[in-house]
Amino acid sequence: MASKATLEPTEAAIPVQKDPDILAAAARLAGEDMCSIADLSSAEVRAILKLGHDVKRNPREYRHALDAKQMVLMFEKASLRTRLSFETGINTMGGNAIFVDQTNSPLGERESIADIARNVERWVDVIVLRTYAHDTITEMAANSRVPVINALSDFEHPCQALADFMTIEEHFGTAAGLNFTYVGDGNNVCHSLMLTGAQLGANVTIATPRGYSPDIEIVTLARDIVQANHCELRLLQDPQAAVEGADAVYTDVCVSMGFEHESSKRAPIFRPFQVNEALMAKAAPHAVFMHCLPARRNAEVTDAVLDGPQSIVFDQAENRMHAQKALLLLLLGGLANTASFQQ
């Protein structure tokens, strides 16, 4: 047996703060925006998740990494998980969060988005936005000298997808080669999951009703990424076929925020796409059930599945905080303030 002294240095011997992949991501992402998962390369997604796992394991290492950094959250839509996971995330790294409720005052109404950006960047280090129009986020990013993070728009929910694939890695060890199936509306969450899954080498299957498939722009992007990463993307309309042999089955509400006026039209269309015990039985026996939450119980998913042994929905919710802490560390240059980096 080899003695300790003769063993090759292992990856575990390098603290993540000095891991070359994470340092490369930190150098590229410092000061950048994260409006879309498409703003990140595959290597950067992997680095965020690797750092997220370390943040979860060793939160004390990062206790002062963002000392005195100021984060503003400007939200046009309701939130439980995103708001609290960002606030707790920055507070536990020495920074501070300021929440601005924009639900009754859409961004751009009182003054232009560019003017908001030119004011806010003078006081804070990062701007976190939850909006209806995706353009509100990209316009803020174009006019702000501090990073802008998409905390959900009608088009994407990238922070959700990062946490979800961190959860998958935690459960299965890797997302590469994993069969990931999303059943339901081709919405913001679906878009970000498609891109993230493709970037991590997962085989992604999407099952939506006709007329509710993901946006062609995202499909085209995702197709390019799966080709580069030698994985697959399938777009189906049959939920039964889509979950056949899946390792992870994911769904979301069929009526997203802003689409409430379509509720009665959508309900019958999405009924065959409900994730229930019969549908889960078609997935692999070890399959997990995932949902971004909030769930409409017994609409897109039954209580039996949501509360059942295959459900990992609260791990997803917890990992929102860890993955976002990793993202903030990279965008705000916090790694250099950790003890392991300085040693």
Q: Which sequence positions are flagged as catalytic? A: 130, 157, 160, 252, 292, 320
**Residues between 241 and 280 that touch ligand NVA (CB under 6 A):** 252-253, 256-257
Selected from 293, 299, 310, 315, the binder of ligand CP by CB under 6 A is 293
Cα separation of 71 and 258, whole Å?
26
Instruction: Please enumerate in sequence order all residues whose Cβ is within 8 A of that of 131, keeping only pairs 6 or more positions apart, or say none.
Output: 76, 77, 107, 137, 152, 153, 154
The smaller minimum CB distance to ligand CP, of residues 170 and 318, is found at: 318
Closest distance to ligand NVA from the beta carbon of 310 (Å): 21
Length reported for the chain: 343
Pairing of β 179-183 and β 96-101:
unpaired
Segment interacting with ligand NVA, rule: CB under 6 A, options 184-192, 219-227, 277-285, 295-303: 184-192
Closest distance to ligand NVA from the beta carbon of 34 (Å): 17
CA-to-CA separations, 224 to 182, 205, 211, 220, 229, in angstroms, rounded: 19, 15, 23, 6, 9
CA-to-CA separations, 29 to 274, 337, 340, in angstroms, rounded: 39, 16, 20
Segment interacting with ligand CP, rule: CB under 6 A, options 79-87, 134-142, 175-183, 266-274: 79-87
Cα separation of 140 and 244, whole Å?
42
Cα separation of 84 and 143, whole Å?
26
**Residues between 128 and 157 that touch ligand CP (CB under 6 A):** 152
Residue 316's identity, in one-letter code, is Q
Closest distance to ligand NVA from the beta carbon of 21 (Å): 30
CA-to-CA separations, 172 to 123, 164, 269, in angstroms, rounded: 42, 12, 33
The smaller minimum CB distance to ligand CP, of residues 81 and 266, is found at: 81
The smaller minimum CB distance to ligand CP, of residues 71 and 225, is found at: 71
The smaller minimum CB distance to ligand CP, of residues 179 and 319, is found at: 319
SS3 call for 213: coil
Closest distance to ligand CP from the beta carbon of 78 (Å): 6
The smaller minimum CB distance to ligand CP, of residues 40 and 163, is found at: 163
Closest distance to ligand CP from the beta carbon of 182 (Å): 14
187 binding ligand NVA? (CB under 6 A): yes
Binding residues (CB under 6 A) for ligand NVA: these are 152, 187-189, 252-253, 256-257, 292
